[in-house]
Structure 1
Amino acid sequence: MPAISIIVPIYNVEKYLHKCVDSILDQTFKDFELILVNDGSPDNCGEICNEYSRKDPRVKVIHKKNGGLSDARNAGIDIAEGDYIGFVDSDDWIEPDMYEILFNMCKTNNCEIGSCTYAIYHQNKRIINESHPLTVHNNKQAMEAMLNDELYNEVVCTKLFKRSLFNGLRFTLGIIHEDTAFTYKAIHKCEKVCFIGVPKYNYIKRDDSIMANTKKNVRIDSVLIYEEMYQFIKNDYPQLCDLVALKLTNCSMLALNLMINSNSSNYKTTYYKVVNIMNNYFFRTIKLKNYPFSVKLLLVATKIHPVFYKLIMDFVTLRNKNSKSA
C-alpha cells in the first residue's frame, strides 16, 4: 500500500498537464500512487495520461465520461489505496518537497489533515501567501481559524487528508466552490489538524477558468453552501455562528452586486432567492460590531427593493472611490 494517493482531475489542460504531472513525479517523497482522472477531456490529455502510466508504475489512469471536478475527484477517491490522500489541479504544479513536508507533519503530530499555503500566479505576477510556523489544532480551533481566514483555507489542494476521513464523505456534484462545501466537514471529523505557512502549492489564476467565468454568469452556489454550513455549525459549534453568518452575507452581497450590475432581468428570481436567505440572518449580521455601516445600509436596502439597493450600492461605491483618491 502506498503512503499517499495523489489525485489529479483532468479536463482540457493539455498545455499545462506535463508541468503538473512532472512536479508530482519529481517529489522528494517517493511512496505514493498518482491517480490521473481523465474526465472526458476533448484534447490530447487522455493519451498524455496513458504515456505516463506506461513510463511509471506509480501512475494509474481513469478514463471516464465528463462529470465535472467533483465527480472526477470522487472517482479517484474510490480507487485510492494510500493512507493519506492529496489533490492537485491539473493546471497547477507543486514544489518538490510539498508532500514530504505534509506527510511528516501529519505523522509526527498524529494529525488527520496537514496543510501548507500557496503562491498565486496571475498576469506575470507572483503573490505569496505565507504567514505562520507549524501549528497544531483540535477540530474546534481549526474550524474557527478557517472561518476567520487565519491559517487554514478552504482549498483542498494545499492539504493532505487521512483516507479514513472519506468514509461517508465525498465532494458534492454539480456545484462550484466544492472545496468550501467539503473542507469544513472534513475538519469536523478530525481530532487534530496541522498547518505550516510555507507556499508549496503553485496556483495559476486563469482568465478562462471556471471561477473566472462564474463572475460573468452569476451563480449562487457559495450562498447555498454557507447557508448549509450555518446549520451545521449551529448544531456543533454554536459559538462560531457569527463567523459563518458574516461569510454568508458577504458572498450574498457579492452575488447581488453582480446581478444588479448585469442590468439583466434574468436574475430577478435568483435575486429574491438570495435576499430571502439573507433575511434569515439579518438580525445576527446587522448587530456585528465590526461590520461597516455602509454594508449594513446595503443590508437594509435588500429588504426594500432592488432599485433602492442599486442606488445605495452606487452611492457606497462612489464614496469608496472618492475616499481612496483623497
Structure 2
Amino acid sequence: MDISIIIPSYNRLWSLPKAISSCYEPGLNIEIIVIDDGSTDGTWDWLAKQQNIVALRQDNMGKDWAVNKGFAVAKGKYIRFLDSDDWLLPGSSLALFTLAENHQLDIACAGYQLFNEQEQFIKEISWTVCDDFLAQQLGECDSSHYSAYLFKKEFIQAIPHRQEFGALDDRQFVIEAALNQPKTGFIQTPTLAHRVHQKQRLQNADGLQAYANHLARLNIYKRCFEQLRAKGLLTQRYKNAACNALWHLAHWVAKTHLADGQKIYNWVYELNPGFTPTENLSIARLYKHFGFTTAEKLLKIRRLF
C-alpha cells in the first residue's frame, strides 16, 4: 500500500462523499480509511454501502481518537490526513509521493487553495520556502495546512493526535513531528482544497470552547519550548518565531480573560524584548500608547457599540 488517507468525520454527510471521491488517484495503491465519530446524520449507513473503503465506527469521542483509530489499522507507507469537509486536489498524492520517494523524505509539503461553502475558489496559499521546518511551524512564516502534507508512516509512528490539545491536535502533531528533525521537501503545486464555512467545526468555537482552544495553543508553545530547552536547542530564532503567534494570541485571550492575555503579552517580550508586530498595527499602537490592559479595556468598550 502506497498511501493511507485517514478521514475522521462527524455529521458531515453533506461533504464526506466529495472528500472520499477526491482521494482516488491512478498510479497509486491508495487506502481510504473513514472513521465515523458517532454521527447522527446517517453517515454510518451511507458508509456501509460504499466499496473500497475501510470504514470504522466509534462513539462520539472526538477527532483525535478517530484519527488514532484509523492510524492503528493503516497499511500505507505514507499517510495523509484529510478533514471530511475538505478535499484533495487532483494528482496531489502522486506528486507528493513521487517527491517523497525520490528524495527519501519524512514529510513532503505543499500549499493549498481556499474555497467557500459553495465550493467557489477564493485564493491560493503557496508554499513558503523556509530553511528551518520547526521555525516555520512555530510561526516564522506561513506553514500551510497539514492535510496538504504527506507523512512517512514510520516517521510519525510514535506521534499520536493528542486529546489534551482539542481542536489544536493537528498543530501539536506537526510541531511534535518538527521537533524530531524530519527530512522535508516541497512542491509548489497546491495539494489541498480547504473549505471555509460556518457550519459546525472545532475551529469555529466561541465562548468557553474558544478559550479552551486558545489555552491549547499556548500549551503547545510551552511544551515545545520545554523540550527545546531540555535539549539545549531553544534558540532566539525559535523564540522570535513564536512571538508572531503569541502576540496575536494575547489579544484573542484578552477579549474574555484580560489577566491571562496580559501574561501572554508579557511572555512575548520576555522572549524577545525588541519584538515588533507586522500585523494589526492599529492595535499595536494602542498597546504602545496606553499599555496592554488599558488598550484592551478600550477595545472592549468599542466592541459594545
TM over 0.5: yes
1:280 aligns with 2:275: no
AA partner of residue 35 (structure 1): I
1:228 corresponds in structure 2 to 223
**Structure 1 stretches of 5 or more lacking a match?**
260-269, 318-326
* Residue deviations 1:115-135 (CA, integer Å, cap 9, x gap): 1221111255422324359x7
Identity rate, percent: 20
Distance 1:295 1:83 in 2: 47
Match of 2:26 in 1: 28
Other structure's SS at 1:280 match: helix
Structure 2 distance, partners of 1:181, 1:308, is 31
Q: Aligned residues, how many?
A: 290
- More off after superposition, 242-251 vs 208-217: 208-217
SS of alignment partner, residue 49 of structure 1:
helix
Q: Distance in 1 between matches of 2:27 and 2:42?
A: 29
Counterpart position of 2:252: 254
The amino acid that maps onto 2:251 is: M
Cα deviation, 1:138-162, whole Å, max 9, x if unaligned, reads: xx72223333224x33x32111111
CA RMSD between the two structures: 2.7
Displacement after TM superposition at 1:289 (Å)? 4.4
SS in 2 for 1:279: helix
1:176 is the counterpart of 2:173: no
Q: Is the CA contact 1:226–1:247 (under 8 Å) kept in the aligned structure 2?
A: no
2:147 to 147, 157, 162: 157
Distance in 2 (alpha carbons) for counterparts of 1:313 and 1:127: 31
Which residue of structure 2 aligns with residue 88 of structure 1? 82
- TM-score normalised according to structure 1 size: 0.79
Contact 2:114–2:193 (Cα < 8 Å) also in 1: yes
1:1-326 aligned within 5 A:
2-25=1-24, 27-52=25-50, 55-56=51-52, 59-122=53-116, 124=118, 125-131=120-126, 141-146=132-137, 147-150=139-142, 152-153=143-144, 155-174=145-164, 175-211=166-202, 213-215=204-206, 217=208, 218-219=210-211, 220=214, 221-234=216-229, 235-238=232-235, 239-257=237-255, 259=256, 270-289=257-276, 292=281, 294-295=283-284, 297-298=286-287, 301-302=291-292, 305=293, 309-311=296-298
Structure 2 CA distance for partners of 1:113 and 1:15, relative to 1, 3 Å: same
Letter paired with 2:4 = S
Greater shift, 98-107 or 59-68, is seen at: 59-68
Q: 2:113–2:192: 8 Å Cα contact kept in structure 1?
A: yes
Rounded to whole Å, the distance in 2 between the matches of 1:188 and 1:14 is: 36
Counterpart amino acid of residue 131 in structure 1:
S
Unaligned runs of 5+ in 2: none
Q: Counterpart of 1:227 in structure 2: which amino acid?
A: K
Superposed displacement of residue 170, structure 1: 0.7
